[in-house]
Structure 1
Amino acid sequence: MLTVGDKLPSFNLKATVSTDLNNAFTDIDNDTYKGKWLVLFFYPKDFTFVCPTEIAGFAAQNQAFLDRDAQLLTGSTDSEFVHHAWRTHHKDLANLPFPMLADIKREFTSALGILDKNEGVAQRATFIVDPDGIIRFVYVTDLSVGRSPDEVLRVLDALQTDELCPCNWKQGDDVLKAA
């Protein structure tokens, strides 16, 4: 699995951005959000139970991420059409404010090292990538355990200070000063 300090691999994926079939799909690659922080969070499968709780949780925090010049991107190994169907039929996903990446060839999840060996789907993994394309944070949980968007936002805040941040540091708290 790629880790902190590694370069985000090149990718070019179809993404679902709307339930309106006239403009539901777009292509997204490394240059789409050039110069921004990226928060990529992958989940195992559409039409499941834990996944929509996380996606809705990140959607509720979308403006907070945007305020920090960070773009949220979610994705799985499902196709853009499956993403579209799920968004269309799940009330909490219909108006998602960020794209859903479709890694149907499993190339991106494989390059990241997060393709689950047993299930053949994306692991529940989160990456924070800085504007230079360097991975600065990795967070992976078991397929059955949802993650905390608040914790991801807290870590993004800490990374953006470019300072030493102690345990449980939150935006506005003092940072550590080296003697």
Structure 2
Amino acid sequence: MLTIGDRFPSFRLSAVEGGPRGLDPKTAFTTVSDADDTGRWKLIFFWPKDFSLLCPTEILGFARLAREFEDRGAVLYGASLDSELVHMHWRQHHPELRNLPFAMLSDVRRELSRECGILDPVEGVPLRATFLVDPEGVIRHVSVNDLAVGRNPQEVLRVLEALLTGELCGCNWQKGDEALKVG
């Protein structure tokens, strides 16, 4: 599995647009690549597959914090192994997902999941993996949860805020707290 200090893999995937464009078959589809949003932090989070019970809780958790991530210079991408057509259909038929503010990437060939090393060997789906990638394409935070356990988007935001300080941030550090000083 890729870890801190590794370069996030290059990718070019079909996707469903965020916002209202992602609901209309005439405007929903796009292609997203690692070259998009150059010079920005990227939050890429994976879920196993659409139309499940646990995945929307995480997706909506990230959606609720999307503006806060954007305010800190980060772009969000969600990804699963489902096709862009399935993503659009899910958004159209799940009222809470209709207003997602970020693109849903389609990793149908499992190439990106495989390159990241996050495919569950039994189920063949991506684990609940989260990557914070700096503007140079280097992974600065990664977390992976079991298929049965959701992650905490607020914690990912806290980690991004700590990374942005460039300082030494202690356990449970929160934005506005003092950084640790050596000596």
Relative to the length of structure 2, the TM-score reads: 0.97
Query: How far apart in 1 are the matches of 2:165 and 2:122?
Result: 39
| SS of match in other structure, 1:86 | helix
Q: What pairs up with 1:132-147 in 2 under 5 angstroms?
A: 132-147=136-151
Matched residues in 1 for 2:93 and 2:173: separation?
Answer: 39
Percent identity of equivalent pairs: 55
Partner of 2:95: 91
Residues 95-115 of structure 1: CA distance to partner in whole angstroms, max 9, x if unpaired? Answer: 100000000011000000011
Please list, as runs of the form range in 1=range in 2, the aligned pairs for 1:45-64 lying within 5 A after superposition: 45-64=49-68
Partner SS, residue 52 of structure 1: helix
Q: Does residue 116 of structure 2 align to residue 112 of structure 1?
A: yes
> How many residues in Structure 1 have an aligned counterpart in Structure 2?
179
Please state if 1:100 is matched with 2:80: no
**CA positional deviation for 1:91:** 0.7
Residue 43 (str. 1) matches residue 47 (str. 2): yes
Q: What is the DSSP-based 3-state SS (H/G/I as helix, E as strand, rest coil) of the residue aligned with 1:48?
A: coil
Aligned-residue offset at 1:62: 0.5
CA RMSD of aligned residues (A): 0.5
Structure 2 Cα separation of the partners of residues 22 and 109 of structure 1: 28
Q: Which runs of 5+ in 1 are unaligned?
A: none
User: Separation in 2 of the partners of 1:73 and 1:178?
Assistant: 36
Residues 122-161 of structure 1 mapped to structure 2, 5 A cutoff: 122-161=126-165
Query: How far 1:160 sits from its partner (Å)?
Result: 0.6
How big is the shift at 1:72? 0.7
Counterpart position of 1:14: 14
Q: Distance in 2 between the 1:35 and 1:118 partners?
A: 37
Matched residue, 2:5:
5
- Shift of the alpha carbon at 1:7? 0.3
Deviation at 1:129, TM superposition (A): 0.2
Runs (5+) with no aligned partner, structure 2: none
Choose the corresponding residue for 1:27, options 24, 31, 40: 31
The Cα offsets for residues 135-167 of structure 1, whole Å up to 9 and x where unpaired, read as 000111110111111000000000111110000
2:113 is paired with a residue of what secondary structure? helix
- 1-structure distance, mates of 2:88, 2:120: 23
Q: Tell me, what secondary structure is at the counterpart of 2:23? A: coil
Question: What is the distance in 2 between the residues matched to 1:91 and 1:75?
Answer: 19
- Hey, what's the Cα distance between the residues in 1 that align with 2:147 and 2:55? 9
Amino acid in the other structure paired with 2:32: I
TM-score (norm 1): 0.99
Stretches of 4+ aligned residues off by more than 4 angstroms: none
